[in-house]
Structure 1
Amino acid sequence: MVTRRTPELIRPAEPTPYEFKELSDIDDQESLRYQIPFIQFYRNESHSRGSTHMGRRDPVRVLKEAVAKALVPYYPLAGRLRENSGRKLEVECNGEGIIFIEADADVTLEDFGDGDIIQPPFPLEELLFDVPGSTAILGTPLILMQVTRLKCSGFIVALRLNHTMTGLPGLVQFMNAVAELARGAQSPSIQPVWERHLLRARDPPRVTFEHEEYDTIADTKGTVIPFEDMVHKSFFFGPTEIAAIRQLIPVNQKATTFEILSAFVWRCRTSALQPEPEEIVRMMCVISIQNLFNPPLLPPGFYGNTIVFSMVTSTAAKLCINPIEYALELVKNSKSTATSQEYVRSTIDYMVIKGRPHFTVARNFVVSDLTRVGFDKLDYGWGQPAYGGLAKAGVGAIPGVLSCYVPFKNRHGEKGIVVPICLPQSAMDLFVKELNRLLYHAPNHLSVALRASSISSSL
C-alpha cells in the first residue's frame, strides 16, 4: 500500500533569470515528444554514509532541498515549454518548478525482487503517480519526481522527464548535481551549458543521407505490435551468456558487446513476433554524439539531447534463417555510417526540412545502450542504488518498441546487462524459447535466466 501526500511544486532555491531559450533541432523532433520514466532503489540506512548519528536523515527532505538548489544553475528545467511557428519548441524560464511527491509504502526493498535482485518491471503507477494534467509536452512541469520511503528504511526515487528537454545523460548530469548537493557540496562539480544552437540546422539546410529511419511507411496488418496483452520481462546477460553468444559468430568477426547483443536480441524478437517471411523488419540503434568526435562537437556540461538513429533493415526470412553474423554485420555497417559528423548535420537539417517527424515504428525495434551513462551510480548520501535505470520497456506512445540496456550486478557479483523487453504474452513465450534454443546449442548448454516481477500484487 502506497500513501502519497499532495503533489507540490519545487522551485529554484534562489531567484533565476526570466527568459526564453530555444531548444535544438534534435530536441524538438516528434520522436522525443513524450515523457520517459526512470527509477532508483536505495537500501536502508545501515548502508548509508555517516549513519551512526546521521542515519535518521529523511531522504524526502534531503532530496527536496537538493533539488531546489540544483534548479538554480539548471533553471530552464523549472520552466515550461511552448511551441512557436514551424513547431519549434522553446522553454519559458519562469521558475515555476518541478512536481515533487512525498510517499510511503508498506513494503521492503526485498519485496521488489527475487532475493537481492531488483530489475524491471516495476509497479510504476504506484511509485510514480501520474498527476492529472501533468503529462502534456507543452505548458506543464518538465520533471515529475516521487520519493517513496519503505518500511525497511530504504527508499525509491522515481522520475518522469519531458524528453524534449534532455536525454538520459543530461538527466544524470542534473541528478548528479542533486546528489552532490545532497551530500553537502556547495555547488555542482559540472556547471550546466545550454548552447543548443550548436545542434541547429545549417542555413540553408541540406540533407546528404537517405535517413530511412524517418520513412513514412503505410501500416499493414500486423506491422505494429498489438497493444493488448502486453507483458514486461527482464533478461540478464552476464559474462557467461555474452560468451555463449560470441561463440555463435565467427572468431574473426570483431564486434562490441552492444553490437553482438543487439543483433542477437533483434533476431530472437523478430522470430517471436512471427512476421511474414518477406516482411521488412527494422532495428534502430540510438547513437549518442556527446563524446563521439575529436575535437568534441559539444562542450562539457551540455545537457541537451545528443542522439541520432542508425537504421538496419532485412526481410524477416533472411534475418531469422541466416546465422547471427548476418544481423551483426548489418548493425555494424549502420553504426559506422551514423557516427560521422556529416550524418549528424544531415539529420538535424532533415528535421527542419521534413517538419520534425517521428521515426518509423512499423516492424521496428529500438535499442539504447545505457550501461555507461551513470544512472546506477548516483549517490544521494546512502550509497549507490540497488537498481538505477529505465523504469520499464516500451516507453512513449508505442509500447514494445524501445529496449534500453541497463548495467546490473547479480547476486554472485557478476557484472552484466539487463535488457527489459515488452511483447504480447504469446510472443514473449516464443521469445524465451528462442533465446534458450540458440543458447542451448552453444557450448555448455547455456540458457538465459528470466525473471518477471510480481511486486504489483503487494502494493
Structure 2
Amino acid sequence: MVNEGTTTNGYEVKVMPASTVAPALPVQEHRLPLSNLDLILPPIDVGVFFCYAGPAGSGNPAATLKAALAKTLVAYFPLAGEVVANAAGEPELLCSGRGVDVAEAYADGTELRELRLGLPDESVEPLVPKKKAGAMCVQVTKFRCGGVVVACSFDHRVCDAYSFNMFLVAWAAAARGSPAPPAPSFHRAFLAPRHPAPRSMAGTLADRLFVPVSRAPAPPPAATSAAAANRIYRVSAADVAALQAAAGPGRTKLEAFTALLWKLHARAAASSSSASSCCMGVVVDGRARLRADGAMTSYFGNVLTVPYGVARAADLRGTDLAAAAGDVHRWVAAAATGEHFRELVDWVEAQRPEPTVARAYLGRGDDGEDAAACVVSSGLRLPFREVDFGWGRPAFASYHFPWPGGAGYVMPMPSARGDGDWVVYVHAAPEVVQVMEEEPTVFRALESSYMFGSGEIN
C-alpha cells in the first residue's frame, strides 16, 4: 500500500505508510523545559540528507536503521517526544517516548546519479520528509541502482545542527555495532538566567540583536518565501583559500565567504528598487564561549546567537572584500563571547513569556528601510565521514532548509570527497541566485560526476 507519491520532471517517489520507532527502553514520561536559547527559535523544521551509492546489497537498510534508531533514542529521548505548550503558552518538550516516524520510499524509475541535486526543489524535496508529529521524522528512499538516501527533519526548537550532528554520529555507530560515543547532556543549568538579574537590558548587544515579536517590524513587501530559489553549489578548496587570502590577515574562511555574499547581495540590489540596504547575519555557536573547559561539548539543545551588519547597497558595491570582511569580523567577534551569551539568556528571561525573533531575519536597515536579508550558518562540522551506517561513507550530504521566512539562508558544508571543497546550500531571492551564478568563480554547478563519478569516497 502506497501512502503518497511525488512526481517531478519524470522522477517519482512512492512513499509507504510510516511506522513509528520508539526507544528500545521505556521512557518515564516527563516534561523538559526548553532553555531560554531554545525559546528564541521559531517553530521551523530543518532537513538533512545523506546519499549512499550502493547499500541495498548490504541486507535491508531500513531495518538496520530502525533497529539502530530504537537504541539511539534511549540516550536522545527528546527526539522521541514532541513540543507542546505549557501553562504560560510557551513551548516545552513532552518526553513521552512516542517515537520517531520512519517512512520507506522507492524511486524505481531513476538512479541516484541521475538526480540534479544542485536543484533541490526538483531532486531533494521528494526525499526529505515533512514532519507531521513528534520532534523528528525519517525517510529512507531506495533507488533502482541500489543507492539509498537517508533523510531526516527535526524541530529546530529542540536542537541546533551541532546537537543533531551528535545524534547522527551516535545513530550510525549503533547501526555499525560500534561503541556508543559520549552521551548527550541536557543540563539546563548551563543556560540558567543570572540572579539577581541585571537592572536593565536596554542598549545591550542582546537587545540590539533580538526583539520581542510584538515590537518586530513587518517584513518588507518583497520578502516572500514563495519567491525564493533553492540551489546547492560546490566551491573548490582553491577558491575558498583565495577568498580567505583576499579578505586579509586574521580573517576566517567563513568571514571571507560571508563578506562575498554581502557584496553579492548588494550587487543584486542594484536591479531591485525595493531594497536600498543589505542585512547580513551569521549564526554563532556559544558552547565554547560559555564554557572554555569543554563542559558544554556534549550539550544537546540550541546555543546560538545571530549577530548581523547592515550597509547601504551602494556603499557595499564600492568597497573591497577585505573591508567587508573586516566589518563581518567586527560584529561576529562582538557576539562570540561568553558574556554576550549570558546576557542573551538574561534578556530572554526578561521578555518571557513573549516570543522573540532575531533582527537579522527581519530585512530592515538601521533607519527602518527595506533591506535584503540573508543569514549564513556554518555546516562545516557536518560529520559526514562518521555517518556510516555499515555500508560506507555517504557519497553526498547536505542540510536542506527552504524555510518560510523572507530572509535568505546560506549554509556551507564540507564536501563528502574530503578534499577541502565545500558544498553550499542556498535559499535566496532569484536575483541573488542570478548574481551568484554570474560570479566567474566560487559558486560552481553541482554535477553528478563530481559526486558519483568514481563510485568511491576518499
Instruction: Tell me which interval the TM-score lies in, with the shorter structure as reference length.
Output: 0.7 to 0.9
Aligned residues: 415
Q: 1:405 aligns with which of 399, 409, 412?
A: 412
- d(CA) in 1 for partners of 2:447, 2:100: 32
Query: What residue in structure 1 maps to residue 304 of structure 2?
Result: 307
How far the C-alpha of 1:396 sits from its partner, in A, is 2.8
> How far did 1:376 drift?
5.3
In 1, the alpha carbon distance for the partners of 2:247 and 2:162 equals: 32
Question: Do residues 109 (structure 1) and 116 (structure 2) align?
Answer: no
Partner of 2:231: 233
| Contiguous gaps of at least 5 residues in structure 2 | 1-11, 364-371, 449-458
Judged with a 3 Å threshold, the aligned counterparts in structure 2 of structure 1 residues 99 and 401 are, in CA distance, closer, same or farther, namely same
What is the alpha-carbon distance in structure 2 between the residues aligned to residue 92 and residue 347 of structure 1?
25
C-alpha contact (below 8 Å) 1:258/1:369 kept by paired residues: yes
Q: Deviations over 1:97-140 (max 9, x none)?
A: 11110111122221124xxxx55625344213436xx1xxxxx3
Paired position in structure 2 for 1:340: 337
Aligned partner letter, 1:28: L
- Aligned residue number for residue 425 of structure 1: 430
Question: Which residue pairs with 1:170 in the alignment?
Answer: 163
TM-score (norm 2): 0.83
Query: For residue 208 of structure 2, what is the aligned residue in structure 1?
Result: 212
Pick from 4, 16, 30 the counterpart of residue 19 of structure 1: 30
Q: 1:43 aligns with which of 50, 53, 59?
A: 53
Contact 1:44/1:154 (<8 A) preserved: yes
Counterpart selection for 1:415 from 415, 420, 426:
420
Deviation, structure 1 residue 378 = 0.8
Amino acid at match of 1:304: G
1-structure distance, mates of 2:274, 2:17 = 53
Per-residue CA shift, 1:351-403, capped at 9, x if unaligned? 222333111221321101111231453111111111222124xx332155211
How far apart are the structure 1 equivalents of 2:250 and 2:332? 14
**Structure 2 counterpart SS, 1:203:** coil
- Cα displacement string for residues 13-48 of structure 1 (whole angstroms, at most 9, x for unaligned residues): 12122222111110122x3421111111111049xx
Q: Deviations over 1:85-106 (max 9, x none)?
A: 4443321221111111011112
Confirm or deny that 1:71 pairs with 2:82: no
Higher relative contact order, structure no. (Cα contacts within 8 Å, ≥ 6 residues apart): 1
3-state SS, counterpart of residue 382 of structure 1: coil
Q: Mapping of 1:361-380 within 5 angstroms? A: 361-362=362-363, 363-375=372-384, 377-380=386-389
- Alpha-carbon distance in 2 for matches of 1:399, 1:312: 17
Cα distance, 1:414 vs structure 2: 4.0
Distance, in Å, in 2 between the alignment partners of 1:34 and 1:129 is 14
Q: Is the 8 A contact 1:120 1:391 kept in 2?
A: no
Distance 2:45 2:220 in 1: 28
**TM-score with structure 1 setting the length:** 0.83
Identical pairs, percent: 22
| 1:273 matches 2:266 | no
Could you say if the C-alpha distance between residues 210 and 176 of structure 1 is closer, same or farther in structure 2, counting changes exceeding 3 Å? Answer: closer
**TM-superposed deviation, 1:330:** 1.0
Contact 1:119 1:387 in 2 (8 A): no
**What is the 5 A alignment of 1:175-190?**
175-185=168-178, 188-190=180-182
The answer for unaligned runs of 5 or more in structure 1 is 47-54, 135-139, 437-445, 454-459
